[in-house]
Amino acid sequence: MIKQIKRLFILGLLSSLAGCVQYSLVPAGSAVSAKGITVTPPMDWNKSPANLGKKVEIWTRDGVSLDQLIFIGGISDGETLFKSWNKALPMPAFNAGMLPNDVEDLVKTSLKNLAGGEIQIDTSNLKPTEFGGTFGFEFELDYFEKSGLKKRGNAFAVIKDEQLYVILFTAADLHYFGEHLPEVRKLFESAVI
Structural domain boundaries enclosing 30: 23-189
pLDDT exceeds 70 at position 15 = no
16 pLDDT more than 60:
no
Is 136 inside a domain boundary? yes
Mean pLDDT score across all residues of the chain: 89
Phi/psi zone of residue 133: left (φ > 0), alpha (ψ -120 to 50 degrees), beta? left
Cβ atoms 123, 139 nearer than 8 A = yes
**Longest CA–CA separation in the chain, Å:** 70
Task: Pick the more confident residue, 142 or 146.
Answer: 142
Would residue 2 count as lying in a domain?
A: no
pLDDT score at 180: 95
Note whether residue 10 is domain-resident.
no
pLDDT given at position 21 = 64
Cβ-contact 182, 189 below 8 angstroms: no
Instruction: Work out the pLDDT band at 34, boundaries 50, 70, 90.
Output: very high
14 belongs to a structural domain? no
Structural domain contains residue 163: yes
Q: What is the pLDDT of residues 69-94, one digit of tens each?
A: 999 999 999 999 999 888 888 999 99
Mean pLDDT of 116-138: 93
Q: Are strands 121-131 and 45-47 parallel, antiparallel or unpaired?
A: unpaired
Distance (Å, whole) CA 136 – CA 138: 7
How far CA 176 is from CA of 62, 148, 179, 183, in Å, comes to 8, 16, 5, 11
Measured distance CA(176)–CA(104) in Å, rounded: 23
Q: Are 121 and 107 in contact (CB under 8 A)?
A: no
Residue 34 lies in a domain: yes
- CATH number of the structural domain spanning residue 38: 3.40.1000.10
pLDDT at res. 12: 45
Number of helical (H) and strand (E) elements in the chain, helices listed first: 3, 10
Mean pLDDT of 7-20: 43
Dihedral through CA 165, CA 171, CA 173, CA 175, nearest 10?
-130
**Residue 13 included in any domain:** no
Question: What gap in Å lies between CA 137 and CA 108, rounded to an integer?
Answer: 15
pLDDT band at 20 (very low <50, low <70, confident <90, very high): low
Residue 3 has pLDDT above 60, yes or no: no
Collapsed DSSP state (helix, strand, coil) of residue 49: coil
Span 45-49, average pLDDT: 95
Predicted confidence (pLDDT) per residue in 156-183, tens digit: 999 999 999 999 999 999 999 999 999 9
**Structural domain count, the chain:** 1
172 assigned to some structural domain: yes
Percent of the chain with pLDDT over 70: 89
47 C-beta neighbours (distance < 10 Å), count: 18
What pLDDT is attached to residue 41? 95
- What's the pLDDT at 63? 94
Mean pLDDT, residues 16-41: 83
